[in-house]
Amino acid sequence: MQQKVLIVGGGFGGIRTALDLAKKGGFEITLISKNPNFEYYPGLHKILGISERVTVQVPLATIFKNKQVTLVIDTVVEVDLEQKRVTTNTGVFQGDFLVIAVGSQTEYFGIAGLPEMAYGFKSVAEAKKLRAHIETLFEKHAKTEKTETVVGLHMVIVGAGPNGVDLAGELASLDKYLAKKYGVLESFITVDLIEAGSRVLGMMSESVSHQVEQRLRSLGVNILCNRELRKEDSWTVKFADMTIGAQTLVWTAGIITNELVTKIKGLTLAKRNRVIVDNYLQPTNGESVFKDVFCIGDIADTKYAGLAQTALSDGTYVARTISKESAGKHLKNYSAKPVAYNIGVGPRWAVLTIGSFETFGLLPHVMRTLIDIRFFLSILPVREVWKLYSK
């Protein structure tokens, strides 16, 4: 009799676990996701780009076509770790193994007015909403007085991590394109990148920060470090030492695990509500372990959590662990793999770091495209990838 594997989450970790287990065979696999599409978050910046060719989401049904995976599109309302049981709006599912891979969401740190007024940049829907908003602003302010236009086309991005830097570069280029399209003077447009820390990309070396800051300034982005957001109103953004008049604020400064994690009884949570796990990515409180339950990707309290490449690596590891355990073989301890960073900063320019190696410009941009294609080839047939890049 086949053992049942329940996977909650259709992101990087979830689909990698399901695909790897399906290749091994011998399992009854059910993947539960509230989103019918897999969203390729590293490509969100493309929605703000000038090109019409955007490849950022793929139907899960396409990924699992002809695979031994049952796909359930529904919202999870309860997870019982002891029973390895998942309850959704329309059904109850139980397995021999349970993998939780629900990812993360935007964190607003309790700042008054921020969730209602700011634009997020963590999903395809949020990115499309922001793109439509910016297009509307240019169309509107092509006909307004100078003072109103300057305020209306002042855009503030809070958070100079990889997501914020990537967005700032694309937004600066998009603004120039839209200025020509709608006949708006470029001097009326302002893009500010705000960072609470002392420099952009604070998790990387100072040399990388310096190169990226130079690149952003060459694109016309203003960089303001050591600033913390206090409050945002409809027309003003308030910091500890200044107030900025702007109608558009994009928040990329914080992420936290998916709220479902806080509702699952028995999990012990660390910073950002990440789950404390043992040497096999099983949730633990230090004394007891939920055996055959795995928390992976963004929600696991591991060294490189929060990155797509970590979620993919976790998925592969858990698939192997489940396969070995079901066969009674010795299990290998989890070891977090070092990560590489490839961050775009406007059209045809990126930074790539692998350990102490750093390179900038066109070559990392080309490599980024190749990395994207390689990933899609790992989850889709060649013909489907061809469709994505030839449409």
pLDDT reading at 146 higher than 70 = yes
As a whole-number percent, the residues of the chain with pLDDT over 70 amount to: 96
Average pLDDT on 153-166 reads 94
Q: Pick the more confident residue, 350 or 237.
A: 350
Helical spans, DSSP H, in 37-123:
60-63, 114-117
pLDDT band at 242 (very low <50, low <70, confident <90, very high): low
Q: What are phi and psi of 152, to 5 degrees?
A: -65, -30
- What is the DSSP-derived secondary structure letter of residue 218? H
Token couple for 2? 């086949």
pLDDT of amino acid 188:
95
Token couple for 299? 């929600």
pTM over 0.85: yes
pLDDT reading at 390 higher than 80 = no
pLDDT of amino acid 228:
80
Pairing of strands 236-239, 243-245: antiparallel
Single-letter amino acid, residue 371: I
pLDDT of amino acid 1:
74
Pairing of strands 236-239, 229-232: antiparallel
> Which domains does the chain show, CATH number per domain?
3-106+255-338 (3.50.50.60), 114-251 (3.50.50.60), 340-391 (no CATH)
Write the pLDDT tens digit of every residue in 256-269: 999 999 999 999 99
Q: Which residues of 199-230 are buried (b: 16+ CB within 10 A; e: fewer)?
A: bbbeebeeebbebbbebbeebbbebbbebebe
